[in-house]
A = this chain, B = another copy of it.
Amino acid sequence: MSDPRQAALFAAFERARRQTMALIDGLTTEDCMVQSMPDASPVKWHLAHASWFFETFVLEAVRPDVPPFDPAFRVLFNSYYVGVGERHPRPERGVLSRPSLDTVLGYRETVDARMAELLDGPPQSARLLDLVELGIHHEQQHQELILTDLKHHFSRNPLRPAYRPPPTLAEAPVAALSFLPSDGGLVDIGHDGPGFAFDNETPRHRVWLEPFEFASRTVTNREYQAFIADDGYARPELWLSDGWDACQQEGWKVPLYWQRDAPERWTLFTLYGQRPVDPDEPVCHVSYYEADAYARWAGARLPTESEWECVARSDIARSAAPRRDAACHPRPQKPDGPVHGDVWEWTQSAYLPYPGFKPAAGAVGEYNGKFMVNQMVLRGGSCATPSGHLRPSYRNFFPPSARWQFSGIRLAR
């Protein structure tokens, strides 16, 4: 009880759980039901799964004798943990009208109460507290997914509902683009601090970097529109071969959520509803293929994840921490703002294990390691990433064709 780490985790747990609940404020029961594509999940499922994580990996470990809230949930809300057993098929999450949202909220409350009992009680083992901490960060990841999945869902409804009213933002000039030089050399990459990190950020290891230059901000809509106007989507020589195939097959001509309302008038769907394209905002919802083609067109390239991390730890980043006022849409970058934080930035690094990587023991070892193929690393966090969730060593990863995350473009050369 008087264990300070346990007390801090208890506070963080309660904060994270409250933040999740704040996200569903204003959503209807029906809004929480929809799965608009196999890659996305219903809000209700996210709510249940994040609770399932604590129940399965924390509560069952410490009190195997206490029956679960509902034994059927073990299968229904298991995402992909083979070590835990069977799973309800991912593309069929939208079929679960039962259990109801009310039942799922009751599930959350029960898990919260049992977790409170645990964390407000006698000191627990470091191993168990590690799992609690993992669960908190897991909860935060699903907070971001709730927003990206909901955005996809609302975008498919012809009524185009707005999730939140748009904020009134002070006009501010966007920062000019410059390239910041870095010497490279033998740098340390990966997590090394005392704080939390996912297993995929470890072990810390040395990487040799040649000197490079790093863009001072991410690419804006204005810059990206020049790429579109220059026939960027129609010139195969700018694209990776797989990217060109995807572009042709999917009929990409603009980023996801953009639509042309008149020859020269573009709008995009946001969580604030349908809005004109703001040329100063970071371009967003582009795939790796588009980011790569844009960089080639711009005579540059995407950074590697090591370069990115090297910069994030250095002076040239005015702040390693991303913006702290959560938002539902990326904002124009002010000249004196932080270097990153409004859109995830595609790197040219494939998502692979670091030298000496060991997945965590047990079923939680499936958290990250088994996805280390066919994906690219993104860095930096987005407007939808919860406060306190990020670190310079943080590695996000998605397939190169994914577009529904808040993903943008940082140049290097």
Q: Please give the residue numbers on chain A whose beta carbons come within 8 Å of chain B beta carbons, in ascending order.
A: 28-31, 33-36, 72, 75-76, 80, 82-83, 88, 92, 94-101, 153, 156-159, 161, 186, 205-210, 212, 236-237, 239-244, 288-289, 292, 301, 304, 348-350, 352-353, 355-356, 366, 370-374, 376, 400
7 nearest A-B pairs in the assembled complex, by CB-CB distance = A350-B350, A30-B97, A31-B97, A82-B236, A241-B370, A206-B208, A208-B208
A210 CB contact (under 8 Å) in B76, B355, B400: B355
Do most interface residues of chain A lie in helix, strand or loop, or is the interface mixed?
mixed
Q: Which residues of B contact A72 (CB under 8 A)?
A: 158-159
Q: How far is the CA of A214 from the CA of B186 in the complex (A)?
A: 24
Q: Which residues of B contact A240 (CB under 8 A)?
A: 370-373
Q: How far is the CA of A350 from the CA of B372 in the complex (A)?
A: 10
Interchain CB contact under 8 A, A242 and B36: no
Q: Give the interface centre of A29, A97, A98 by most chain B CB atoms within 10 Å.
A: A97
A400 CB contact (under 8 Å) in B30, B99, B207, B374: B374
Q: Which residues of B contact A92 (CB under 8 A)?
A: 156
Interchain CB contact under 8 A, B98 and A157: yes
Q: How far is the CA of A353 from the CA of B412 in the complex (A)?
A: 14
Measured CB to CB, the nearest residue on chain B to A207 is B208
| 29 contacting pairs across A/B (C-beta < 8 A) | A28-B97, A28-B100, A30-B33, A30-B97, A30-B100, A31-B98, A33-B34, A34-B97, A35-B94, A72-B158, A75-B158, A88-B158, A92-B156, A95-B157, A97-B157, A98-B157, A186-B186, A186-B208, A205-B208, A206-B210, A208-B208, A237-B366, A239-B370, A240-B372, A242-B371, A242-B373, A348-B352, A348-B353, A373-B400
Interchain CB contact under 8 A, B33 and A80: no
A156 CB contact (under 8 Å) in B95, B100, B101, B208: B95
Interchain CB contact under 8 A, A99 and B159: yes
Q: How far is the CA of A8 from the CA of B321 in the complex (A)?
A: 59
Q: How far is the CA of A88 from the CA of B158 in the complex (A)?
A: 8
Interchain CB contact under 8 A, A157 and B96: yes
Measured CB to CB, the nearest residue on chain B to A288 is B373
Measured CB to CB, the nearest residue on chain B to A80 is B241
Interchain CB contact under 8 A, A352 and B355: no
Q: How far is the CA of A101 from the CA of B207 in the complex (A)?
A: 52
Q: How far is the CA of A33 from the CA of B244 in the complex (A)?
A: 29
Q: How far is the CA of A301 from the CA of B159 in the complex (A)?
A: 42
Q: Which residues of B contact A31 (CB under 8 A)?
A: 97-98
Interchain CB contact under 8 A, B98 and A159: yes
Interchain CB contact under 8 A, A210 and B356: yes
Interchain CB contact under 8 A, B186 and A94: no
Q: How far is the CA of A161 from the CA of B100 in the complex (A)?
A: 12
Q: Which residues of B contact A353 (CB under 8 A)?
A: 301, 348
Q: Which residues of B contact A29 (CB under 8 A)?
A: 29-30
Q: Give the interface centre of A153, A210, A241 by most chain B CB atoms within 10 Å.
A: A241
Tell me the minimal C-beta distance from A26 to chain B in angstroms. Answer: 12
Q: How far is the CA of A357 from the CA of B318 in the complex (A)?
A: 30
Interchain CB contact under 8 A, A371 and B241: yes
Q: Which residues of B contact A371 (CB under 8 A)?
A: 240-242
Interchain CB contact under 8 A, A350 and B352: yes
Q: Which residues of B contact A205 (CB under 8 A)?
A: 208, 210
Q: How far is the CA of A212 from the CA of B157 in the complex (A)?
A: 50
Interchain CB contact under 8 A, B241 and A153: no
Interchain CB contact under 8 A, B355 and A237: no
Measured CB to CB, the nearest residue on chain B to A152 is B95
Q: How far is the CA of A100 from the CA of B33 in the complex (A)?
A: 12
Interchain CB contact under 8 A, B242 and A97: no
Tell me the minimal C-beta distance from A231 to chain B in angstroms. Answer: 14
Q: Which residues of B contact A242 (CB under 8 A)?
A: 371, 373-374
Q: How far is the CA of A50 from the CA of B35 in the complex (A)?
A: 25
Measured CB to CB, the nearest residue on chain B to A212 is B355
